[in-house]
Structure 1
Amino acid sequence: MSDSIFGGRSGLGRASRSATALALILALAATTLPNGVVAQSYSFSNVSIEGNQRVEPGTILSYAGIARGQTVSAGELNSAYQRIQESGLFESVEIVPQGNTLVIRVVEYPTINTIAVEGNSRISDEDLQPVIQSQSRRVFSPTQAEADANAIAEAYVAQGRISARVQPRVIRRSDNRVDLVFEVFEGGVVEVERIAFNGNRAFSDRRLRRAIETRQAGLLRAFVTRDSLVEDRLQFDQQLLRDFYASRGFVDFRVLGVNAELTEERDAFFVTFNIEEGQQFKVGNVSVVSDMPGVDPDAFQRAIKMRSGQVYSPSAVETDIARLERMAIREGLDFVRVEPRIDRNDRDVTLDVTYQLTRGPRIFVERIDIEGNTTTLDRVVRRQFDTVEGDPFNPREIRAAAERIRALGFFSDAEVDAREGSTPQQVVVDVDVTEQPTGSISFGGNYSTNSGFGAAISFSERNFLGRGQQLSLGVNTASDNSRYFFRFTEPALLGRDVAFGLNLSYYESEQDNARYNTKVGTLSPSLTFPLNDSSRLQLRYTLQSTDLSIPDGSIDETGELVKAEAERGKLIESSIGYTFSYDTRRTGLDPDAGVLLEFGQDFGGLGGDTEFVKTTARAVAQRLAFNEDVTLRATVEAGAVNYSGDGSRVTDRFFLGSSLMRGFEPGGIGPREYNDAADVDDALGGNYFAVARLEAEFPLGFAEEYGIRGGLFYDVGNLWGLDKTNSDVLYEDGAWRQVVGAALLWDTPLGPLRFNFTETLQKEDRDKDQNFELTIQTDF
């Protein structure tokens, strides 16, 4: 049996009736006594307090402010009543003058026995408890209970359930105790049905919707949480729009307002961003000036990467400032600050950038305090700082460290602030983080037309033991092959900016109807370190065991070359190698373009059974065009492998699978040993390959929330070269193949899927083409 103690919801409560009683007494006194008597003051020789159980009489008297024998007026009696009522300790209060005695009757609020939430399924009790301020074994407060109900409702509003209602109820118990129950009606999610923009000319609505966090509700609404209306997210979206336009030279861009209109059915929102783009500015003159003695501005001028004529971007300015400040440190110039001065030229729509080198205040970092990291070790956070205790304080370095901490992905929230230390010349850097889950385990199945059904189990942890290490292991099995892997990465070996990696894998293929079986085990430790902002170098050692064999049932259908290679049995390869990479996708100055260059070599012969040199190279260029609605991408890849002695085997050579060239089956092109009479058709791979891929991705007119885009592509490639050959070998000298195709790209909760539909323009007679393929889309 529940009861309401909320006067605002259930009519006049006891407190209201008490106030009415006091008012009636005072009014009666005013109407029955002469004017001279009303103006007189009263004194009570006795004060009687009734009804209190937990609260001491002296406490009530202190709130009343009336002592025995004190002369009081009717107005002071009313003030005493108000003070007792406002103490929040009593459900009702009555002050009744009886002759020379002032009687104060109170009814204490009950004590909370238990607190419960009922009717909630979308938000668990554990997640709601932190927003409830009422506590068990504390005095019940209707005001606080109402505030708690509103806080619970706000938690649902943050999930887009604006129709959620929360009603606090009390259940009376013995000994003046109550159970406090919050009855929740969650309601449905009110989603964002449409997002529109007013005032945009340079970019389409479609492109701008990709730049913000809020999403329109669509086909995958059951899996998308960003399609609900959240005020904080809309505020963040406005900042994202400012950053988007600013990075593209629109320095006058403004968000004039955001309108969120609820439909008549109250089941969806229409969100409209009213914006003003302004003009796009380019960089005019770029110069460096200094008022510090002994500093050569020309030397710093040569270090600037920003050039006249390029689209102005604040990120490019920040990059130059960071470069100049690092150069000053290398030159032994401490406390140097680089202040940019931007001069506007409206006539030619350019911005002149002047970097002013000045001597900053002599402020040092006293210490770095880290809080909130219950799992992650302090050193993982601390190594994101280029600054240590005792170094000169550089606000830009602190902001950059904050971004690196957030980029770790270990924390749901990370705040980095600086405050004054023990002296005005020192600062303390406070880091406050909130941990989030970083591990995952997955179970799944797979099916391949080549391998049949299989199972996949994997475990990954991005912050292993709170050390910032990455660990992953898994098993992938099918009816005729199995793969096991273990990967470990220490991103800061010995506290340095050097990543240590260890890869272990084992692959086994045993197919009754296959031309050959393989067993490959690999051990490969590596070290990776940066050369500059855009370049990295990896050094590695690889130990690999390869066992090539022919199943008994396939000896007659296997070619002579593969047989000869299988007779060599198990071979051990020991090699050292390197890979150099240059990547401007994150550090480049143009937000619409990116370039990736990779070059690697492995040298075998450091022990083992073989000597070889294997070289691979890749170059990728990507640009956004047509108001950034279309992605254009060009890729060139090539490789060469040279084995001494008995030459390479089929397990050592390159194969052009779908990841390198679309439109053909694995092993569908390149040199092959073919003898129709002996039913021999072995794909041999090649010692050399070269591939070029051109593609464009574009919207198809579907709403962005569906995640569906289209693509067109053209691939041309060649695979050739064998160390040994015979009269049955075809295409050993190589032949170019060409493929065109269309793609359907779909971003799903399972991952980005890509459906390729291809048509070969040029191929050889024995090539095995493939007109349809389903793959997982990957970034370059």
Structure 2
Amino acid sequence: MGVKRAIVFTVALVWGLFFCLKPVSWAAFSRQAPVLLLPLEIYAAPWEKEALADLDTGLAYYLQKEGLRVLPRAKVREILGKLPQKISEEEARKLCERLGLKAVVWGSATVFAGQISLDLKVRDCAGAYTKRLYVAGDISTLEALKEKAGKRLARAVLSREIVAEVRIKGNVRMDEEAILAVVSLKPGDPFDPQKLRQDLKEIFKLGYFDDVRADLEETPEGLRVTYIVREKPVVKRIVYEGNKAIKESDLQKITELKPYTILNLNKINEAAEKIELLYRERGFYDVKVEPLVKMLNPREVKVIFKIKEGKKAYIKKISFEGNRAFSDKELKKLLEISEKSPLSWVKKIKTYVTGGGVEPGVYSYGGLYRSLGKIVTFYQNQGYMDVRVGEPRIERKGEMIYITIPIEEGPRYRVGKVDVVQDLFKDKNFILKKLELPKKKFFDREALRRDLMKITDLFADKGYAYAKVEPEIKKDPKAHVVDVIFKVDKGPLVYVNRIEITGNTRTRDKVIRRELLIVEQRPFSATRLKKSEGRLRRLGYFDDVSISTEKGVKEDQMDVHVKVKERPTGTFSIGAGYSSVDKVILMGEISQRNLLGKGQTLSFQGLFGARTTRYSLSFTEPYFRDSRLSLGLNVYDWEREYDDYTRDSQGFGVRFGYLLTPNTRVFFGYRYDDSDLTDYYYYASAIIRESADIHITSAVELGLVRDTRNHFFDPTRGTVLNVTYEHAGGFLGGDSAFEKITATGSVYFPTLWEITGHIRVGVGYVTEGEGGKLPVYEKFYLGGIDSVRGYRYGDISPKDPETGERIGGERMAFVQTEAIFPLVKSMGLKGVVFFDMGNVWGEDVGYRFSDVRKSVGLGIRWLSPMGPLRIEWGYNIDAQEDEDKSNWNFRIGGQF
């Protein structure tokens, strides 16, 4: 008996502890959130309504039979005071919250011609959506209809439905498939309220709709899900009102808004802020921009930016506080802003011509704060490592602004010890000799940055592409000395893993790869990478070239990405010259410098004028059979009327070249020319009459070309060297016999103020070969755009002492000196001023500087959409009687 009592006590204790420790009541086990079934609206004849008296009770019975708890109506009346019948979705939502329901069911029953239909709505309180379902049948089977409706209601409440169909409604402009692409609920899936809510969010995130909601409808096949959207209107027009100081095109560019795009209020407000910033940048301190949206119709709007510009604010005075090391005048030169002065209009013109910047004398918020950073950089580069530039004080008096910039200079630090800690180079002095900082007396932060890059490049050139260089800066605040130690972690030796080329829609991969100085599975080199980019740019095939790198799969690998933007390489070009004698001469060329994307050149040239006609066809293969050997072919037909004779010639040439280095090529060629001289007077120069008997020229040439320019059309640095030796006659046959050597060299170099210096020098010497047959047209003549400007071609030449005819010379030399400078940066328009000099001498005439012909002039250069444009005017400093005082020349190239 005692044992039985102990067992009963233990079981009771465990049972009691279970329910004491677990915070769930008995009621929680027997209850769940209830369903509120509201009385249905009945549409039937009076005698039919009696048959439907227990319809609500029957539906409640079958809901409970399916496991749902239906809230008693008496309880509802007790809480609400009355039992609602016809309610809206919003009222259903409020009932859910107030009564803590699982769902609310309401609707109507309609009887007509012996048929009954139930139109029911179910508000899912947790999912916050409403489903609709229809049940219909013969009134004689009312009980079966109740059971069917009860089961479908239970299925709707318990979300046991299968999705039968997913539809989009309300979309006009946006394609239904594009919306369905972000919807996760698919036909055949079990209905999931969580997915429905996520789908609503995803559709809204597309950004094309003001409102998105879902409609759920019970069908015999399952649940029909309809996403109902309301599209945002389209911006039909964008209007700027009140803008007088800034062109509408500039505002359009800064706002980046375009007509016929979806209305986005956030972007419109951002655009208004951008407009205000642009105005303040240009000195309109009080500008106000109000964005308005005007409905044109339910689907289209007009966006209006109402601009109140106000007046420009001008800077009366800029002063500094605390600057002891540098004067106000020195610091003002660093600023983007400046004080208004009588010469501000001159500076304004310069600002426009050089491509923008802050208007002189005008207060610019952005210009001021960018200038503060420049002051800090300037001080730090002069050794003031601890410099502080405070918040500027701005005082306004009418339209004038007074600016005071406080500065705390701090001490000036001298450079102490500079060292490099590394384990690659045996002699670290090899690195130290290349650095700038050890040569500086005072600390220079910009020099430190450049030294970091130099050390990084040195290691990268040895294949250590991931080398990390950390400068350890040790300041001595008392002695005002700073020591710098560069610590190098060279990392692994890196190999080029893959080279990927993109953007070349026309040019073949191999044409690009053969210009690269880096090779897959070979050690990486930063210098070779930079040179490779330059070589691709010099091809002239691409508008843009960018080479980037990223780590490969392994630590010792690197992938290289070459991205190019193709440019039209087919060109047509026209050129013209004008003088009082020749009037207009037209020149034309049609060529394809990247034939079939293989890098080959095919060109047809023509020159047409009152005195000259020339045709030529040429082909060049720069990498014959993918080797370093190049091949060139050309044929021509040329008729030229000189002052003293006419030359008619036909011929062809073949040239082979070999690439010695990436920038240097040697070439060997052969040419055959058949010329006839006609239309000369019987009393013409003996040299001309003798040349009339010389017809065939059979010659070979040997030469060298070296080109290191950084750009094919608009170089700013680099050199070009071309040396050619030609031999005619002898074992080659023909009527002519001579030896000729010519050399031209150009150098481009940057100077001050973005001015590019250019010097071009040319020399030549020709002598008769065995038999003494040197035609007059194989001698040298100068003048024109490629030698001494201000003269027409052939003006500079020795003359026959008896007849006065120009008969060419055996020796020539010329120098072109140019200063090329930007005129309008935004357009790429450049100006040029030049001084040229040169002369041609006969075999038996000595060199005298007083014989040198000289010219000065100016012109413009523009890499236009039509191609490179060159217009130049030259003035003949010492014009002779039969020469023009000046000459115009121009050339223009185009693209197709």
Q: 1:35-46 alignment to 2 at 5 Å? A: 39-42=98-101, 44=103, 46=105
Matching residue of 1:601: 725
Structure 1 or 2, whichever has the larger Rg, is 2
Match of 1:772 in 2: 886
Name 1:720's counterpart in structure 2. Answer: 842
TM-score w.r.t. structure 1 length? 0.58
CA contact (8 A) 1:116 1:182 kept: yes
| C-alpha contact 1:92 1:106 (8 A) present in aligned 2 | no
Asked if the contact 1:602/1:613 (under 8 Å) is kept, the reply is yes
Match of 2:697 among 572, 582, 587: 572
Name the counterpart of 2:590: 459
2:657 is matched with which residue?
527
SS in 1 for 2:689: helix
CA distance change for structure 1 residues 774 and 110 in 2, over 3 Å: closer, same or farther?
same
Post-superposition offset of 1:145: 11
Question: Of 614, 618, 621, which residue of structure 1 is paired with 2:740?
Answer: 614
CA deviation vs aligned residue, 1:300-338 (integer Å, no higher than 9, x gap) = 789989999899798999789878876x6xxxxx76988
* Residue type at the aligned position of 1:566: A
1:472 corresponds to: 603
The 3 A distance-change label for structure 1 pair 421 and 560 is closer
Match for residue 291 of structure 1? 423
Aligned to 1:753: 871
Within 2, Cα distance between the matches of 1:363 and 1:663?
A: 56
User: In the superposition, relative to structure 1, how do residues 346 and 543 fare at CA in structure 2: closer, same or farther (>3 Å)?
Assistant: farther
Distance 1:446 1:353, change over 3 A: farther
| CA pair 442-648 structure 1, distance change in 2 beyond 3 A | closer
Distance in 2 between residues matched to 1:305 and 1:81, nearest whole Å: 63
When residues 289 and 547 of structure 1 are mapped into structure 2, their CA distance, relative to the original with a 3 A threshold, is: farther
Contact 2:354 2:822 in 1 (8 A): no
The alignment covers a number of residue pairs equal to 635
Amino acid across the alignment from 1:771: K
Matches within 5 A, 1:167-182: none
In the TM superposition, what whole-angstrom CA distance separates every residue of 1:464-485 from its partner, at most 9, and x where no partner exists?
Answer: 3222334432322123321223
Q: Percent of pairs identical after alignment? A: 17
Once the two structures are superposed, what CA deviation does each residue of 1:713-752 show, in whole Å capped at 9, x if it has no partner?
3635341127xxxxxxxx7998842445442323455723
Separation (CA, whole Å) in 2 of partners of 1:556 and 1:528: 48
For residues 499 and 168 of structure 1, what CA distance do their matches in structure 2 show?
Answer: 69
Match of 2:634 among 490, 504, 529: 504
Corresponding residue of 1:690: 813
Query: 1:537 is matched with which residue: 665, 668, 693?
Result: 665
Residue by residue over 1:509-543, the C-alpha shift from the partner in whole angstroms, topping out at 9 and shown as x without a partner, is 254974232325342424152547xx623313031
Which residues of 2 match residues 224-243 of structure 1 at below 5 A?
none
Q: Residues 252 and 628 of structure 1: is their aligned pair in 2 closer, same or farther, counting only changes over 3 Å?
A: farther
CA apart distance, 1:38: 7.8
Cα deviations by residue, 1:391-417 (Å, 9 ceiling, x for unpaired): 345566556545655665544555544
Asked whether the 8 Å contact 1:338–1:356 carries over to 2, the reply is: no
Which of 762, 765, 768 is the matching residue for 1:643?
A: 768
**One-letter amino acid of the structure 2 residue matched with residue 41 of structure 1:** G
Q: 1:767 to 1:169 in 2, by over 3 A?
A: same
Checking the alignment, whether the CA contact within 8 Å between 1:633 and 1:696 is kept in structure 2 is yes
Q: CA separation in 2, counterparts of 1:683 and 1:717?
A: 13
Deviations 1:644-699 (A, max 9, x none): 11331111111122333355454334432244xxxx43211111123455666789
Amino acid at match of 1:650: V
Q: Using the alignment, how far apart are the partners of 1:640 and 1:477 within structure 2? A: 30
1:168/1:305 CA distance change after superposition, 3 Å: same
Bigger proportion of residues as helix: 2
| Cα pair distance change 1:632/1:402, threshold 3 Å | closer
Match of 1:549 among 642, 667, 677: 677
User: What amino acid is aligned across from residue 492 of structure 2 in structure 1?
Assistant: P
- Aligned-residue RMSD, C-alpha: 7.2
Unpaired stretches in structure 2, ≥5 consecutive residues:
1-86, 109-120, 132-152, 159-192, 217-223, 240-247, 250-255, 282-288, 308-313, 315-328, 337-346, 359-365, 391-414, 441-445
Q: Is the 8 A contact 1:85 1:93 kept in 2?
A: no
Equivalent residue for 1:668?
795
Match of 1:379 among 471, 488, 510: 510
Quote the residue 1:108 is aligned against: 228
Letter paired with 1:685: G
The amino acid that maps onto 1:721 is E
Structure 2 CA distance, aligned partners of 1:711 and 1:345? 51
Change in CA separation of 1:682 and 1:775 when aligned onto 2, cut-off 3 Å: same
Identify if the C-alpha distance between structure 1 residues 377 and 38 changes in structure 2 by more than 3 Å, giving closer, same or farther. Answer: closer
Query: What is the Cα deviation at residue 578 of structure 1?
Result: 0.9
Separation (CA, whole Å) in 1 of partners of 2:838 and 2:642: 34
Describe the shift of the 1:204–1:371 C-alpha distance in structure 2 as closer, same or farther (beyond 3 A).
same
The separation in 2 between residues aligned to 1:352 and 1:493, in whole angstroms, is 57
1:617 touches 1:638 (CA, 8 Å); kept in 2?
A: yes
Distance 2:436 2:722 in 1: 25
The equivalences for 1:193-342 within 5 A come to 291-292=423-424, 297=427
- Say if 1:366 and 1:62 are closer, same or farther in 2 by CA, change over 3 A: farther
Check 1:305–1:420 CA distance in 2 against 1; reply closer, same or farther (3 A cut).
closer
Which residue identity lines up with residue 563 of structure 1 in the other structure? R
Contact 1:63 1:87 in 2 (8 A): no
SS at match of 1:672: coil
The TM-score with structure 2 as length reference comes to 0.52
**Contact 2:104 2:123 (8 Å CA) reproduced:** no
Q: Distance in 2 between matches of 1:499 and 1:181?
A: 65
CA contact 2:102–2:124 (8 Å) conserved in 1: no
Q: Is the 8 A contact 1:663 1:739 kept in 2?
A: no
SS in 2 for 1:668: coil
Give the conservation status (yes or no) of the 8 Å contact 1:758–1:772: yes
One-letter amino acid of the counterpart of residue 100, structure 2: S
C-alpha contact 2:579 2:887 (8 A) present in aligned 1: no
